[in-house]
Amino acid sequence: FLGGCFGNGVLLFDILRHSDMRTKSNACIAHLAVADILSLVLHLPLSYWDVAHATWDLDETTCKCFIMSKDLVVTLVVFTVLGLSFERFLVVRSSFRLKAVAKDVGPVLILGTVWVYAIVTCIPSFLAATVHDRCLASPPGRADCLQKAWTFQLFMNSLMPVAAIASLNVATAYI
């Protein structure tokens, strides 16, 4: 916990302190550091709490944030790496048309879109989470709802972005 917060904090400090470090690629790297810190601060302590206690003694909102934070961080990281792969593809590609697109689409727009998408796709996790002695991802007896949500997240937040990242990397390598 402390090592992760310290390392990511130093990285963010360096990027913010030195103006020559504020590049498009470093914006994505800083975004990954922020996502990692969010994971460490939101998810790690609550995971230890959940494992160490037989019942969930915290409130339901904390349970909802705990369940949602895992999905949020995974989505943020995967789509940030997708953004980095897309940026690298555009940089390697010599087409003037693609370079114009890369110049116009800044990291703020890409990362802002990643945040909006991550939050929107994690809302079902937040709404479904409940406390029933333990912090649960869905109310007891609603396994079908949970299965549908996890299947959606698997395809939209994991398999499709990884396939896109692989495709972009192959296209970048063979241009």
- Average pLDDT for residues 105-113, to the nearest whole number? 76
Write the DSSP symbol of residue 19: G
Q: What is the reported pLDDT for 103?
A: 58
Residue 133 DSSP label: S
- What is the model's pLDDT at position 140? 81
User: What are the φ/ψ torsions at residue 56 (nearest 5 degrees)?
Assistant: -90, 105
How many other CB atoms sit within 10 Å of the CB of residue 37? 18
What is the average pLDDT across 84-95? 76
- At residue 98, the pLDDT reads 56
**Predicted local distance difference test score (pLDDT) of residue 94:** 61
Confidence label for 54 from pLDDT (cuts 50, 70 and 90)? confident
Within 52-152, strands assigned E span: 130-132, 134-136
pLDDT digits (tens, 9 = 90+) for 22-37: 777 688 788 888 888 8
Average pLDDT (33-50) is: 85
pLDDT band at 166 (very low <50, low <70, confident <90, very high): very high
